[in-house]
Amino acid sequence: MTSIPLPSDSELPAELAARLAELPGLNIIRLLTLAPECLEPWMALVAGIYQTDFDPRLREIAICRYGARTHASYELFQHTAMARKHGISDSELMAILDPEPVTSLDGDANFVCRIADELEAEATISEATRSELLDRFGDKGAMALLVTLGHYSCVCRVVNASGIPLEARSPLEDASSPSENG
């Protein structure tokens, strides 16, 4: 498979290689060094997403569902590791990754999967879904979820279009978030 080549440390300016050493060893972060002006804003958005009060379990369910809907194997490789860290079982992951609508989880989990499905299919959510989103999670929770899904929509498209290779082992198994080492 053709992919955009990942630069080695020796091909990067010293300060950029040093910054990479501070971050999880994700190929997507290395890939972003090819657009160095985007690296820090991207990392700041990811950090912000992981600092919200939105339920971490629901956040990972939403990200995994979006990755499944976009066939983003790189994203799923990373975030199934994060999902397990947040108590999502293998059977729950199977339901989240199934192409059929998710109905076998708890109400909030089913709902965030439905939002991911609507966003991927329509690039928006229905008025009824928006109303339910606000009722379930309030203004702040609604925005946290929508920003998360909006960002991971971008992530899924970048990883799919770039042909990024998987790491031998997900660096997120040892990280507290995709923007921080262990």
- What is d(CA 5, CA 148) in angstroms, rounded to the nearest whole number? 27
Return the domain boundaries, the chain: 55-163
Residue 181 has pLDDT above 80, yes or no: no
Quote the tokens at residue 124.
């928006």
Q: Report the CATH superfamily, name and number, of domain 55-163.
A: AhpD-like (1.20.1290.10)
**Quick one: what percent of the chain has pLDDT higher than 70?**
99
User: pTM of the prediction?
Assistant: 0.96
Say what the pLDDT of residue 1 is.
76
Measured in whole angstroms, how far is the alpha carbon of residue 95 from the centre of its chain? 18
Is the distance from CB of 181 to CB of 24 less than 8 angstroms? Answer: yes
Determine phi and psi for 177, rounding to 5 degrees.
Answer: -160, 170
**Looking at this protein, which amino acid is placed at residue 132?**
E
Quote the tokens at residue 132.
């339910």
Q: Which of 132, 138, 135, 139 is nearest to 118 (CA)?
A: 132
- Reported as a single tens digit per residue, the pLDDT across 134-148 is 999 999 999 999 999
Which residue would you say has higher pLDDT here, 182 or 98? 98
- Reported as a single tens digit per residue, the pLDDT across 91-135 is 999 999 999 999 999 999 999 999 999 999 999 999 999 999 999
